[in-house]
Structure 1
Amino acid sequence: MRTWLPPLRGELKLNGEGFGDYVRGPGSGALVSEQFAKAFRAEGLTGLPDFQPVEVVRVRGRRRSPLASSPPPYFHVTPVFGGAAVDESKSRIRRASPLSCDWCRETNVETIHGFALEEGSWRGEDVFFARGLPGNAVVSARFVHFVERHALKNMLLIPTEEYIWDPLELGPPRPTP
């Protein structure tokens, strides 16, 4: 992925009536509200090293409420690529081909029906990308409590063992003998 370079400007598509505290953003990054950014820093959470201001130049959306006339300040963040690695033996991941690199563990993932991290590979970050798991960031229990305490909006937090990603409806991988 190419890096989004300053000045960071973009448009939001509003699907509901109000603005969220988290917006899945360009590339592997996301946009977070000023409320999110201030609380994250104040509580000393880790895994989002840079908060870069974003200028929202346009807001699209049919159901915008009058209370949501202008968006809050947003910041672009990218989770760290931590040392945490997917535990292949405890995860239910269907891959198109076997792993060829033990460090990056990137292969064509076809489905995910729950996953676990290798014991001792996680360094304690609160938000991070795990090796062998493309797409969504993984978060700590501390981060989950942070979201609940601050009533942050537009975040869906799913326990790792319940996470399902199966765009082609292939189903879970077959059990290994």
Structure 2
Amino acid sequence: MGSDTSTSPRFFVLEEGIHGSRYDADLDKAEPINRADAPRCPRCDGFVGMLKWLPPYRVKLELHGEELGDFIETSSYEFLISERFAEAFRAEGLTGLEGFHPVEVLQVRRMTKKKREPLTSPSYFVVSTRFGPAAVDPVLNQMRISAPPTCPECRLTRVDAIHGFVLEPGSWRGEDIFRPRGLVGDLVVSERFKDFAGRHGLTNMVLTPTEQYMWDPSHLGPAPLSKT
């Protein structure tokens, strides 16, 4: 891709660890599950998120790996982080997360048949990310979309495949974790967050440089290069 990565800030897509890993786990929200309205774009009124999870925050976990990690997704908009993750994030002044509501873990069910030591669960908090100002560059990306976005604020459109993307210069305001306009279903983090996660050994995370990130369930391939 034609971006100058030597001088531009670097960003990474944050995903949960791969299935079959040491920290592989599934989450079910326990009843009662209360919801609030999904957030909307302030300009076009289109949805820019899913229904918001409200208290009580109660979950049941299924562990397919060996131990529970520091990061467990509930959706692209809300996820669980361990107490040590939460404390370090706030202590070091990183930005982009909100909520930090304690979660009650009702049950942890080990799904492997091998005998293990008794399992303990970390204390977890549920956090969410805001729809922020950072935006996917409309030119310097390799995304296949069904139609050009009609709203210049949220830039919502149907994305069919991603073969790397970069952020529009000047749109990022310093957040360490955010959902970019044009790809509101993806979590993107700063290089400072990547360094933070590495120093603290935070688990169950995969961080991929945005320009190398691939999502192509229908095997469509990269978007054709624009002719100028």
Alignment TM class, shorter chain as reference: over 0.9
Instruction: Work out the number of aligned pairs and report it.
Output: 177
What TM-score results when the alignment is normalised by the length of structure 1?
Answer: 0.95
Structure 2 counterpart SS, 1:55: strand
Q: Which runs of 5+ in 2 are unaligned?
A: 1-49
CA shift in 2, pair 1:100/1:13, >3 Å:
same
Q: Does 1:164 align with 2:214?
A: yes
Task: State how far apart, in whole Å, the 2-side matches of 1:126 and 1:27 are.
Answer: 16
Q: Alignment identity in percent?
A: 51
In the TM superposition, what whole-angstrom CA distance separates every residue of 1:7-57 from its partner, at most 9, and x where no partner exists? 100112222101110001146111000110010011010000220111111
Structure 1 residues 29-48: aligned runs within 5 Å: 29-48=78-97
- Contact 1:80/1:129 (CA < 8 Å) preserved in 2? yes
Q: Residue 139 of structure 2 aligns with which residue? A: 89
Stretches of 4+ moved more than 4 A in 1? Answer: none
CA shift in 2, pair 1:141/1:156, >3 Å:
same
Q: Residue 202 of structure 2 aligns with which residue? A: 152
Which has more strand, going by share of residues? 2
Q: Does 1:53 align with 2:53?
A: no
Task: State how far apart, in whole Å, the 2-side matches of 1:47 and 1:68 are.
Answer: 35
What TM-score results when the alignment is normalised by the length of structure 2?
Answer: 0.74
Which has more helix, going by share of residues? 1
Code of the aligned partner of 2:161: T
Task: State how far apart, in whole Å, the 2-side matches of 1:69 and 1:78 are.
Answer: 27
Code of the aligned partner of 2:101: Q
Structure 2 counterpart SS, 1:46: coil
Task: State how far apart, in whole Å, the 1-side matches of 2:186 and 2:201 are.
Answer: 21
Q: Which has the higher contact order (CA 8 A, sep 6+)?
A: 2
